[in-house]
Structure 1
Amino acid sequence: MKDLIPGLTDDVARECLARDPFHAFPTLFSVCKLWQQELRDQTFHRFRKSTGIAQPVVVVVQTVPDIAESAKPRPVVYRLVIFEPATGVWSSLPPSPDLPFGLPLFCRLAAVGTELVVVGGWEPRNWATIDKVNVYDFLTGEWRRGSPLPHPLRSSFAGAAMHDSDKDCRAVYVAGGHDESKNALRSALAYDVASDPWKPLPDMARERDECSAVILRGKFLVLGEYPTEAQGMFSRSAEAFDATAGSWGRVEEAALEEALEGGVWAPVAKLPSEMRLALNVVTWEGKLMVMGLGRSGLLANILDIKATTTMTTPASASWRKVEVPPEYRGRFLGACCLVI
């Protein structure tokens, strides 16, 4: 068997490869099949994380800012940008060849290992609901087309990703939303990122439109409104899908509070004084990044949650301001985070 790097033991060679920054992975991946196998091996990525080499990468859906002076209004174009909290560097992801008119409006992002999954949304030209799925691989630096989202076409749905390398599980879950006739949906689906198929899940107990989702303790938790018998009235609740049991269970409000840090809701921090409106929030490894608007335009700040919870008052929380270059000051419309 060939060595990863001639003249070095594989342990030393792995140390060398692991210390390369994530944006060097496409170059490393193109060297040889042996390096491709190494980069695909979850042991390699667990090693990067255990040694603190792996870094968070925040991926943001953003409008392209119109910084050129022009009398004519330009069409709004949506794109993906990445922010590296460790270095403060902003950059753009290459556009998907399958999306020539920009990123779909209201698409859902899901971070699965070293891959980014973009699901559904509205066609930028005519706002028609689409079923496209596109996957960006940070190892190869390339896009691939995924299996389309099964019908009925849906908007405003909940989505979240499950990644368990020990169980070789890389799945994106989708639930609820509304169809093209604005009917709220109960149906749910799961997408296997590795093998590409979608499969139906059991229906939720309630239709849920304009809903959101998280993975909480290994379960797909969907939160949102559902219509009540009273006309025009809605109620809020949550349901959780247990993949092991293959079924949904209602999450009572009290049980939800108990699941979230011991059953007590408490203020953690006040938003920075200059932020008037919070638009998006993304978390990773004890950090919280809030993106929003202030009097001077777009703002972004990072909070160390672990440090903050040891303080006595929310007002004492220390936010770190993120410098956003002019070319990345388009409006934030969604975000997720990968640790690569």
Structure 2
Amino acid sequence: MEDLIPGLTDDVARECLARVPFNAFPTLFSVCRRWRQELRDPRFHRLRKSNGHAQAVVVLVQSVPDFARYTGPQTLPYRLVIFEPATGVWSSLPPCPGLPHGLPLFCRLAAAGTELVIIGGWKPPEGATTDEVHVYDFVSGQWRRGSPLPSPLRSYFACAATHDSDEGCRTVYIAGGHDERKNALRSALAYDVAGDSWKPLPDMARERIECHGVTLRGKFLVLGWLGAEAFDAAAGSWGPVEEAAGEEFYYSKTYVAREDGRLYRCLGREVMVQLEGGVWAKVAELPGEMRRARYAVAWEGKLMVMGLGHDYGFLANILDMKATTTRTTMAAATWKKVEVPPGYGGSVLGACCSVI
């Protein structure tokens, strides 16, 4: 077998490759077969994370700035934008060849390992509900078409992804929403990203529309106005979210799970964490310039909150969690304002975070 880098042992060569920034992966991928194999190997990405070379990437479904003068959301083309917290750099991902008019309105976005999955939405310019699935691969820098979403066509559904770093398994779950006749749905599905296949899941206990998906401690949580349910993949069944009994998740898009196995939320002007027994503890107040939180994403020790300022412009701040969590309290979290350059202040319709 050919060496990864001639003249170096594979262990040393692997350490060199692991230090390359994620945005150079497409270049590495095009060099040779061995490098392509290495970049596809889950062990390579575990090495990047264990050595501290993996980079957090925040991904937004954001409107194209040249169309800011338009008034209705149906007229706005949307694209994928990435923000690199470590460097403060903003950029746009290559447009999807299969979507010449931009991303579907109200599509769902999920990060599964080194790939981004776009599902459904209202496809421009007609605005018809679509079953299309599009996958962007950070490793190759290319888009591919995924297997279409099984019927019925749906909108406003919950969506979230899980990633087993040991096996490289990547699954995107969807549930609820409503069909084209506005009938609320109980059905749920799982998409195997690597295998490009869908399989049905058991129905939820009740219909849920305009819901939000979160993966927490290996379970897929569906949060909505009428409470929450959780799908346990190991058991293959749905169950109630005990800590959320009776709770209505009006602002469910600001609920996010972090790697510490806890659920965070922005409710009103408070950022809170759910501790043992379902107790919610205040972590911080929203920054004074932020009028309302709209989306939140999380990665190692950080929580990025995006929302609207008092002039309704786009704002983003990162909360640095430096405190020790106890059962009833969490303190000493500090905010850092994110500088948003011109061209990246458009309306946001989806957000996720990947560590690559």
TM-score (norm 2): 0.86
1:329 is matched with 345
CA deviation profile, 1:18-50 (whole Å, cap 9, x unmatched): 111000000000000000011111111111000
Q: Does the 8 Å contact 1:308/1:318 carry over to 2?
A: no
The 8 Å contact of residues 270 and 315 in structure 1, kept in 2 or not, is answered as: no
Corresponding residue for residue 241 of structure 1: 231
What's the secondary structure of 2:35's corresponding residue? helix
**Per-residue CA distance 1:87-119 (angstroms, 9 max, x = gap):** 000000001011111011111111111000011
What residue number does 2:48 align with?
48
Structure 1 stretches lacking a partner, 5+ long = 226-235
User: 2: distance between equivalents of 1:117 and 1:241?
Assistant: 20
1:178 paired with 2:194, answer no
User: Is the Cα–Cα contact under 8 Å of residues 160 and 172 in structure 2 kept in the other structure?
Assistant: yes
Give the distance between the partners of 1:337 and 1:319, measured in 2 at CA.
18
Report what 1:274 is aligned to: 289
* Cα distance per residue 1:265-299 (max 9 Å; x no partner): 12211000011121211111121111111135221
Provide, for residues 104-154 of structure 1, a one-character-per-residue CA deviation record: whole Å limited to 9, x for no partner: 111111111100001111112222111110000000000000001011000
Give the distance between the partners of 2:331 and 2:310, measured in 1 at CA.
21
The separation in 1 between residues aligned to 2:288 and 2:116, in whole angstroms, is 33
One-letter amino acid of the counterpart of residue 233, structure 2: A
Q: CA shift at 1:314, angstroms?
A: 8.8
Q: CA separation of 1:204/1:81 partners in 2, compared to 1, >3 Å: closer, same or farther?
A: same
1:250 aligned to 2:240?
yes
Query: In the superposition, relative to structure 1, how do residues 68 and 332 fare at CA in structure 2: closer, same or farther (>3 Å)?
Result: closer
Report which of the two structures shows the higher radius of gyration computed on alpha carbons.
1
Write out per-residue CA displacement over residues 168-187 of structure 1, whole angstroms, 9 at most, x where no aligned residue. Answer: 42100000000011110000
Equivalent residues of 1:268, 1:308 under 8 A apart: no
Give the 5 Å matches for 1:1-340. Answer: 1-66=1-66, 75-225=75-225, 236-253=226-243, 260-263=274-277, 264-296=279-311, 297-307=313-323, 317-340=333-356
SS in 1 for 2:140: coil
Contact 2:43 2:166 survives alignment (8 Å): no
Letter of the 2:6 partner, please give it. P
Instruction: Tell whether the 8 Å contact from 1:268 to 1:309 is kept in structure 2 after alignment.
Output: no
1:306, distance to aligned residue in structure 2 (A): 3.5
Q: Output the CA distance in 1 between the equivalents of 2:18 and 2:217.
A: 29
Q: Which amino acid aligns with 1:331?
A: S
State the one-letter code of the partner of 1:51.
N
Per the alignment, residue 230 of structure 1 pairs with: none
RMSD: 2.5
Range with bigger deviation, 120-129 or 110-119: 120-129
Distance in 2 (alpha carbons) for counterparts of 1:262 and 1:68: 44
Deviations 1:175-203 (A, max 9, x none): 00000111100000000000101111111
2: distance between equivalents of 1:223 and 1:57? 24
CA spacing shift, 1:104–1:35, aligned 2, 3 Å: same
5+ long unaligned stretches in structure 2: 248-261, 264-273
